[in-house]
Structure 1
Amino acid sequence: MRWKGWHVGVINYGTYAVGALLIVLLPGPNSMYVLSIAARKGVRTGFRAAAGVLAGDTTLILLTSLGAASLLRTTPLVFDAVKLLGAGYLCFLGYGMLKSARSLWQSTRTPAPATPDPAPATPDPTPAPAPAAQPTDRERPFRRALVVSLLNPKAILFLLSFFVQFVSPTYHDSALPFAVLGTTLQSFSVIYLTTLILAGTYLSNAFRRRRRLSAALTTGIAGLFIAFAAKLATASVS
């Protein structure tokens, strides 16, 4: 690949771009988490989760270029430890979503309280108590998305096996072609995650009116996270 006479060490870039786009479009825990949290919390929170995904993926690309894939391939104990941590964390997220879905299902079965007849107003000299402080949001979407991205050793091995097919073996420095390939992949990710966030925000308006729909989607995504965890836990180096 040449840009204005500048060789960057990438071969068959068009094929790589198509492959990278298809990879980004495949559903995974990262994209499902961004979609679900954007639907539940809104655009700003969705973009915080997307930033965590991009930071994690960028870290994996850097680790791949520095040889982390070789360590995982030659040290099964490290690979097993990382994959079990990742699987456990995905199960933790899935369990949390199931709890949220259960609360939503229960709320759909609770009848709305009857409106009492208005009583005549009487003066009350006692000052009204201060409103209770609202609980803070402890979900921390950036950190959760970052951890989901990093605790996936198969991603590092996949990046290595995918990237090396498009790096020129005669190029003197592998950092530049890895940077070009990684930037392309991350550009597709930005566009895709932005689309998911906007779609999730659109869905959130419907979820506020339809609690059953919100509970069903939350349950489905929780099941996907548990399935992702099972797949990761049974993964092998080969």
Structure 2
Amino acid sequence: MFGINNYPGFIMAGVLLNIAPGTDTFYIISRSISQGTKAGVVSALGVCSGAVCHTLFAALGLSVILTTSATLFFTVKLAGAFYLAYLGCVLLKAPPAVTPQDKKAAHPHNSLRKIYCQGILTNLLNPKVALFFLAFLPQFISTDSPYGPLPFLILGATFVTTGTLWCCFLACSAARTTSYLRKNNAVQLGLQKITGLVFIGFGVQLALSKN
């Protein structure tokens, strides 16, 4: 079908890979725990939008550049590490994101938009994600496929769809589990500080990774 081999097998493998914890997973969980369901779901949608961009890059062959340029790979990785550390520092310095006295104003539109954009950048600035798409998708595409980038787009859309469903479920579950904690302003501030430290840790881990 459209130059794709073993599509059911790809779906199964994709679901397992989506479930496997990674930087994006912990990013979404951290947002959900510290800021609630809306922030968690929006961050999940941002991460998945970044995956859409990676799909397009892979389909157009742009991701190949990362495999052939060590300098570019290092630059993108360092940018991603600094960005994660920056997000962590912002959370450490910021007041509680949600206050029980003003629930209606807890997530203004511009705040959710910022969270969404941060999710996109967190995913885009991780070169390992680009290399993953470039290495994983071709395994299910016929070498003599006459359909050009179409198989990449179909497989990428499938992976992003299952990933979005899983990430949104994860965000809702994490937020609901800790909802009673966020009713306490002091506890919520503590959760936010922990989230900031987690982001900084991810940034350090990404910067120190060898590949």
TM-score range for the pair, normalised by the shorter chain length: 0.7 to 0.9
Counterpart of 1:93 in structure 2 is: 87
Q: CA deviation at 1:145?
A: 0.6
Counterpart of 1:198 in structure 2 is: 172
The answer to whether the aligner puts 1:153 opposite 2:147 as a matched pair is no
**Structure 2: which 5+ runs fail to align?**
97-105
Cα contact 1:29–1:225 (8 A) shared by 2: no
TM-score, structure 1 normalization = 0.72
Counterpart of 1:177 in structure 2 is: 151
Relative to 1, partners in 2 of residues 1:95 and 1:27: Cα closer, same or farther, differing over 3 Å? farther
Cα contact 2:34–2:182 (8 A) shared by 1: no
Deviation by residue 1:7-32 (Cα, 9 ceiling, x = unmatched):
22111223322221122112233232
Counterpart of 2:101 in structure 1 is: none
Counterpart of 1:57 in structure 2 is: 51
Relative to 1, partners in 2 of residues 1:205 and 1:231: Cα closer, same or farther, differing over 3 Å? closer
Q: Map 1:36-51; keep pairs closer than 5 Å.
A: 36-51=30-45
* Distance of 1:28 and 1:93 partners within structure 2: 17
Counterpart of 1:124 in structure 2 is: none
Identity %: 29
Aligned residue pair count: 200
2:60 to 66, 86, 99: 66
SS at match of 1:10: coil
Higher helix share: 2
Matched letter for residue 89 of structure 2: Y
Q: CA deviation at 1:35?
A: 2.6
* Distance of 2:208 and 2:138 partners within structure 1: 25
Root mean square deviation of aligned Cα = 2.7
SS at match of 2:63: helix
* Distance of 1:34 and 1:175 partners within structure 2: 30
The answer to whether the aligner puts 1:27 opposite 2:1 as a matched pair is no
Deviation by residue 1:167-211 (Cα, 9 ceiling, x = unmatched):
111111232211221122112112112212211331342113456
Counterpart of 1:186 in structure 2 is: 160
SS at match of 1:23: helix
* Distance of 1:223 and 1:156 partners within structure 2: 25
Relative to 1, partners in 2 of residues 1:173 and 1:149: Cα closer, same or farther, differing over 3 Å? same
Matched letter for residue 35 of structure 1: I
Q: More deviation in 203-212 or 17-26?
A: 203-212
Q: More deviation in 186-195 or 41-50?
A: 41-50
**Structure 1: which 5+ runs fail to align?**
1-6, 105-133
Deviation by residue 1:88-144 (Cα, 9 ceiling, x = unmatched):
0111122233445xx78xxxxxxxxxxxxxxxxxxxxxxxxxxxxx9x775710111
Counterpart of 1:83 in structure 2 is: 77
Q: More deviation in 30-39 or 69-78?
A: 30-39
Larger radius of gyration: 1
TM-score, structure 2 normalization = 0.80
